[in-house]
């Protein structure tokens, strides 16, 4: 008999993490508001288990091709993974999310690890940096907000040959566009706050791994640290995850069209769009002041940090003191939403025309 083909992402996103198809079962896992459970079972306490986390984890795990663990935020997930390292070197993308770079710096200052920042799009430089002291290669692809893209498969092959683990922050691409575990990565991390949840209404993170032993170690760390999400956040994040493929497709199509139209705008010196996803970086000629004027001059686009919501937001990244100084002062990061692309274009082009004219 022919084997049943595996379900595809649109179907997995909708169907995974649901109760069985039995009479009177609800279609959605109900929210369990409980800090503890009657003793003697598998759950025991609210820091160890919650059915809404499990439903979210089953769905994300199925999309990424591994086993997921939900965390209180993306940073909580990142810290749980960095906690695997002690007294060795982490090679990381120089333009990783500023919180990741900040955490690496903090751990280095306290003598917990050594951080070596590299251009993650330069595979030869990344692999050349791996030595006997390296424990982890930290990839972000595309990077936030430089939009560099890494060759995950090539880096993973070189890292594994040296016995080094590879982590990919898959927040920008999502499992709809990039499945790092299939490309050879050992660990995927997410700020689920962004595309996975998708509605700018909660903070959550996730770690996904294929290796059961690594899963147990990370689950053990989460049990101890208590960096767990609330049940309602997990329920909302799963509700968002149901439409992830649709949102990513629509937002990516909008982003590709905007990047194309922006490419010859006279107010810009650069448009960075790696050809996937819904994040675009534009560099405004003249630096911080004209860029600040642009982000104050729109009606549809909202000036706000964070990204990955249904609504389009943008931000001049160097307004943060902690952003890498290699990011241009005039760089505005666009998180393109699912609105009508003509409305997005008219609003953004109007703001850019103001400073170009």
Instruction: Choose the binding region for ligand PLP from 1-9, 68-76, 148-156, 225-233 (rule: CB under 6 A).
Output: 68-76
User: Does residue 222 carry a catalytic annotation?
Assistant: no
**Least CB distance from residue 349 to ligand PLP, whole Å?**
26
Residue of 116, 179, 194, 222 marked active site: 194
* Distance (Å, whole) CA 92 – CA 104: 9
Q: Which residue is nearest to ligand PLP (CB)?
A: 74
User: Does residue 47 carry a catalytic annotation?
Assistant: yes
Instruction: Choose the binding region for ligand PLP from 67-75, 128-136, 284-292, 330-338 (rule: CB under 6 A).
Output: 67-75
Choosing from 127, 191, 200, 252, the residue that interacts with ligand PLP (CB under 6 A) is 191
Sheet holding 187-191, edge to edge: 67-71, 205-209, 187-191, 165-169, 134-140, 89-93, 114-118
User: Does residue 45 carry a catalytic annotation?
Assistant: no
114 - beta bridge partners? 89
Cα of 333 vs its chain's centroid, Å? 15
Angle between helices 51-64 and 231-241 (to 10 degrees): 30
- 142-171 residues near ligand PLP, rule: CB under 6 A: 144, 169, 171
Choosing from 56, 85, 95, 97, the residue that interacts with ligand PLP (CB under 6 A) is 97
The 10 Å Cβ neighbour count of residue 26 is: 8
**Least CB distance from residue 244 to ligand PLP, whole Å?**
16
* Distance (Å, whole) CA 346 – CA 250: 18
Residue of 18, 47, 114, 319 marked active site: 47
165 - beta bridge partners? 136
116 - beta bridge partners? 91
For residue 141, state whether it binds ligand PLP (rule: CB under 6 A). Answer: no
> DSSP letter at 156?
H
Active site residues: 47, 97, 169, 194
Which residues sit at the interface with ligand PLP, rule CB under 6 A? 73-75, 97, 99, 140, 144, 169, 171, 191, 193, 203, 205, 306
């Amino acid at each position: 008999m022919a084997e049943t083909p595996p379900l595809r992402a649109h179907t997995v996103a909708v169907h995974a993490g649901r109760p069985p198809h039995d009479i009177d079962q609800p279609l959605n896992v109900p929210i369990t508001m409980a800090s503890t459970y009657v003793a003697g079972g598998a759950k025991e306490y609210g820091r160890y288990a919650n059915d809404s986390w499990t439903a979210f984890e089953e769905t994300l795990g199925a999309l990424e091709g591994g086993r997921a663990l939900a965390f209180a935020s993306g940073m909580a997930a990142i810290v749980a993974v960095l906690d695997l390292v002690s007294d060795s070197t982490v090679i990381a993308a120089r333009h990783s999310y500023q919180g990741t770079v900040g955490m690496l710096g903090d751990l280095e200052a306290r003598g917990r690890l050594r951080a070596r920042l590299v251009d993650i799009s330069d595979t030869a430089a990344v692999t050349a940096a791996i030595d006997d002291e390296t424990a982890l290669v930290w990839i972000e692809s595309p990077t936030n907000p430089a939009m560099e893209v890494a060759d995950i498969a090539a880096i993973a092959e070189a890292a594994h040959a040296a016995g080094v683990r590879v982590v990919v922050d898959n927040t920008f691409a999502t499992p709809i566009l990039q499945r790092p575990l299939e490309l050879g990565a050992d660990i995927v991390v997410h700020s689920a706050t962004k595309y996975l949840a998708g509605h700018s209404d909660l903070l959550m993170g996730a770690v996904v791994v294929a290796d059961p032993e690594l899963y147990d170690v990370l689950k053990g760390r989460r049990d101890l640290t208590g960096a767990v999400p609330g049940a309602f956040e997990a329920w909302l994040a799963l509700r968002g995850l149901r439409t992830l493929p649709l949102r990513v497709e629509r937002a990516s199509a909008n982003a590709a069209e905007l990047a194309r139209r922006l490419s010859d705008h006279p107010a810009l010196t650069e448009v960075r769009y790696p050809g996937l996803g819904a994040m675009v970086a534009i560099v405004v000629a003249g630096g911080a002041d004209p860029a600040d004027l642009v982000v104050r001059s729109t009606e549809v686009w909202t000036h706000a940090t964070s990204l990955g919501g249904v609504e389009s937001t943008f931000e001049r990244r160097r307004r943060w003191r902690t952003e890498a100084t290699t990011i241009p002062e005039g760089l505005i990061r666009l998180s393109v939403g699912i609105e009508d692309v003509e409305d997005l274009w008219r609003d953004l082009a109007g703001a850019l025309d103001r400073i170009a004219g």
